[in-house]
Structure 1
Amino acid sequence: MKAIWNNTVIAESNEIKIVEDNHYFPMSSVKQEYLEKSNKHTRCPWKGKASYFHIKINGNINKDAAWYYPKASFAAKPIENYVAFWKEVEISE
């Protein structure tokens, strides 16, 4: 699976985990040069506190377009430190 934004592959892996229709990529499969930490956080009742990244490619910024759970709840441990995408990021095979 690939995550693509701005005609650029930002993540690629065969180790995807799907939770609530979101594709979570291992952090190691995400090209870190395209990520910038965001100050945004949200809380999921069963997964815990999510942290966000902006995606930056060729001067274009997609704010808060990726998220992950650095300390997932017990129920969500399988996706701890896995990254999911939204906001026009295309997920394809």
Structure 2
Amino acid sequence: MKAMLGDTVVAEAPKEDLIQIEGNWYFPPSSVNDSLLEKSPTPYTCPWKGECQYFSVKNGDTLLQDRAWSYPTPYPTAFDRVGKDFSNYVAFWKDVRVVD
């Protein structure tokens, strides 16, 4: 599967390597093009997943604020709920299309 911003591949991995949580596809950290992401200072803590790290996504010369996120150190109870360790996996907001 691919995470696409226009014609640019932001992340790519086999579907079996992704994790789906609450309708969002989370890509393994190694499958994400880090050069297109910039850490954002936007704070958020999910009640059951833990502290979130947002990223802005580069689209040419434009920086799309908070269009990606991950959970660097999820709550241990979240692993039970999801069924896998999703630490540092990255999900994307709707501007970034996830396609098969």
Band the TM-score falls in, shorter-chain normalisation: over 0.9
Gaps of 5+ in 2: 80-84
TM-score by length of 2: 0.87
AA aligned opposite 1:9:
V
Asked whether 1:92 is paired with 2:94, we answer no
* Contact 1:62–1:87, Cα closer than 8 Å, also in 2: no
Task: Tell me the TM-score normalized by structure 1.
Answer: 0.94
Structure-1 separation of matches of 2:43 and 2:53 = 5
Which of 62, 65, 85 is residue 63 of structure 1 equivalent to? 65
Change (3 A) 1:48 1:42: same
Counterpart of 1:62, as a letter, is L
Match for residue 29 of structure 1 among 23, 28, 31: 31
Identity of aligned residues (%): 44
**1:54 CA displacement:** 0.4
Give 1:82's aligned amino acid. Y
RMSD value, Cα:
1.1
Query: What residue ranges of structure 1 are gaps of 5+ in the alignment?
Result: none
Post-superposition CA distance 1:22-50 (Å, at most 9, x none): 10001110001101110012111110010
Alignment partners' CA distance in 2, 1:76 and 1:3: 24
